[in-house]
Every structure is written in structure tokens, then in C-alpha cells.
Amino acid sequence: MKMKVFFFFILIAVALNGCLKEYGSVSITSTDVMYSQGEDGTKLTVTPYIRNDQDTDTGLLTVKIKIKEPSTNLIVAQKDSDIGYIKSKSSSFNSVSLKVSNPGEYEVEVQVFEGGKLLTQYVAPVTVKAKPAPGEPSDIKLIDMTIVITKLLNDASVAVVEVSPGLYNQGGDSSPLTLEVTAQIDPYNTYVQSDTINIIKSEGRSRGKVTFTIPRNKEYSFSAKVLENGRTVAQATLVDKVKLITLKYNEPITNMLVEEGKPKPAQTTVPGFLTASALVGILLVYHIIIRRRR
């Protein structure tokens, strides 16, 4: 009977640990990698998107990025960057640039540390192509999205919002592009605006702009789509929803866009305190049972 009670309490401790793991974690929700060719190699710009789901702010964080050759597991480039702290229940992103000598297959490893302790890591493959030759097709990427409230209407219940996605072309010169931006409250309340973008040269950048007039007291999912010659060539979404009521008038915010259809890289969140607390709970239960036997 006592052993049954013991195992019952073990199950409770493990279950509580599983529930608690849904909270109090710092994780890398996505990582974007862009590259541009140069005379002395290829520059990789790695942008991890880090989410703090804890009830408290983080301490000072450091991002460590390594570029490896998968065939040899050799590190061909690495760099550390201090990114400060991330507020509770919020996200941040930070770009780090590194160089590799040759085109080819690489592996990007991103690690986030707090006071020397590893919190989470993220591994993703990346293919660095050779410099595009004339006539090669474009390769459009959606990078980030800037959102700003430019006007308030109807006693501030309605907002005029400018949304500006950033685009980058890793391939050959593009044709003229069409940009579509969607602001969605739910499947029944969706707003769509479009913009025409001229040709983006190889390794060139551009920024589109659309304007929404939408209710201010709602939460929106923002996404963007790029069409070239009537075909969708890029599609991406913001990781976090946007509450317009929290945005200040005429103060833009910029968040990273996450490409849709991209294979999900491997991510590890270090368990740390929560697993330890579950083990302490099990040992405490065991100690109580032993004392009762005596």
C-alpha cells in the first residue's frame, strides 16, 4: 500500500513538472539566414528570434553563433553578441554577421546564454549558393515588418496603420513584384492590402508599404506574400500577434518575419530548474514515507 502511495506521488510530481514546462522558458522560435557575395567570401547574416515566456524579465543574454561544415563538423566561423535582456512575455531579435569562404552546405548553430548558463539552442541547415549569373531567376525573401500608427480616428477607436515589409533578393534580377499584406483578427475578419514593387536587382533590398484603417482595440496576425508574374515566390508571417492598443502613436515597431513552408530546425530548451524541482519533490515524498515506516 505504501509503495502505491509512493508511486502515486511520483506521478503527481512528474505531471506537475510537465505542466510547469509550458511556462517559464526562453526559446528560439525561429532563425533567419541571409547571405550576400563579396570578393573575399560570402557574408551570412543570422537573425534569431528569441521568446521569453517567463513571468519575469531575463538577465543579460548572450547569443553565440557557429557556422559548421556538416561533413567534417568543423567550425568555419563563429561570433558572440550581447543582446541585453528580454522583458517578460515578449520577444526580441538580433542580427549577427559572419563570413564563409566558399558556397556550399553549412549548419548554423545558435545558442542563448544567461550568465554563462545555456538556456536554449537551435540548429538549422543552410545552402549558400554561388553568385547568380545573368539571367538566373530571382530568390526573394521577406525579412521583417515595420508597423506604425500614423493617425487615430473616431475617438481613437480606429487606427490608420502603415505596414512596411522588407524584401531581399538572393538570386538574379527580379521582374516587377506584387506585395500583399494581410491583417487578420479571425477567419471571418480579415483585411488585405497590396503594393507594387519595381524590379529588385540581384542582392538588392526594397521595402513595400500598405495602409490599413482598422479597429484599434483588436489583436491582429500580420502576414505578407510576394508574387512575381502571378506566382507566389515568398510568404511569411509575424511570430507574435500585435495588439494595436499597445502601440504608441507615430512610434514604429519592427519584428522579424518567419518564412512559411520552411523545414523546422532542431531546437533544444535546457530544462534547468523545473526538472530539478520535480526531483526534489519526489525525494521529499520518499523521505516522508521512510519516516512513517519508522
Does domain 24-131 fall under CATH 3.90.550.10? My reply is no
pLDDT in tens, 54-77: 999 999 999 999 999 998 999 999
Give the span between the Cα atoms of 164 and 260, in whole angstroms: 18
Residues of the chain with pLDDT under 50: 4-23, 263-265, 271-290
Q: From start to end of the chain, where are the E strands?
A: 26-38, 41-52, 61-69, 74-84, 90-93, 96-100, 104-114, 117-128, 140-153, 158-169, 177-186, 189-197, 205-207, 210-215, 219-228, 231-238, 242-243, 253-259, 266-269
pLDDT for the residue 21: 37
H/E segment holding residue 3: helix 2-20
pTM score over 0.85? no
Give the span between the Cα atoms of 260 and 243, in whole angstroms: 22
Does domain 134-264 fall under CATH 2.60.40.10? My reply is yes
Q: How many Å is the Cα radius of gyration of the chain?
A: 24
pLDDT for the residue 130: 85
pLDDT for the residue 75: 96
pLDDT for the residue 137: 94
pLDDT in tens, 113-133: 999 999 999 998 998 888 888
Domain with CATH 2.60.40.10 in the chain: 24-131, 134-264
